[in-house]
Amino acid sequence: MRLCHLDDLPDGDSRGFDPRASGRDTILVVRQGRRLHGWLDACPHHGTPMAWRKDAYLNAARDRIVCGAHGAQFEIHTGHCTLGPCLGQALTPVPLTIDDDGGVHLAATPFEETRP
Ligand code: FES
């Protein structure tokens, strides 16, 4: 499933997506150069969405993903919580691919993978 074009993702910034048209973003993507880091937008603390406003998933230094609810911080490239109430837990990865034309796609459907 195509999410967007690489040019739609500012380098060093984050963006949320709603690929299931659920009415809220369920995936977040952080771009670092040509590398993309995709995670489910669900904090391991309470399972809730993390952006404090649309597409705002990063701290001021832009080196951590931050949950807007209680301030947990996560490494961008591993998803591991490094500070906050879910220390030792991690975000759920969402595999992404970039095609030759710069299209960004979900490599798999994480929602289906999690079904028993
Ligand atoms: S819900 Fe994310 S830190 Fe509490």
Q: How far is the CA of 36 from the centre of ligand 1 (A)?
A: 23
pTM of the model: 0.90
What does the pLDDT look like over 29-56, one tens digit per residue?
999 998 999 999 999 999 999 999 999 9
Give the C-alpha separation, 75 to 65, whole Å.
6
- Please tell me the residue having the least CA distance from ligand 1 atom 4: 70
- Lookup: tokens for 35: 């590398």
Tell me which of 39, 40, 45, 73 to substitute to probe ligand 1's pocket, judged by most ligand atoms within 8 Å of the beta carbon: 45
Q: In what order do the strands lie in the sheet with 35-40?
A: 14-17, 27-32, 35-40
The minimum-distance atom of ligand 1 relative to the CA of 50 is 2
> Who has greater pLDDT, 115 or 95?
95
Tell me which of 39, 82, 86, 87 to substitute to probe ligand 1's pocket, judged by most ligand atoms within 8 Å of the beta carbon: 86
Q: Which domains does the chain have, with CATH numbers?
A: 2-113 (2.102.10.10)
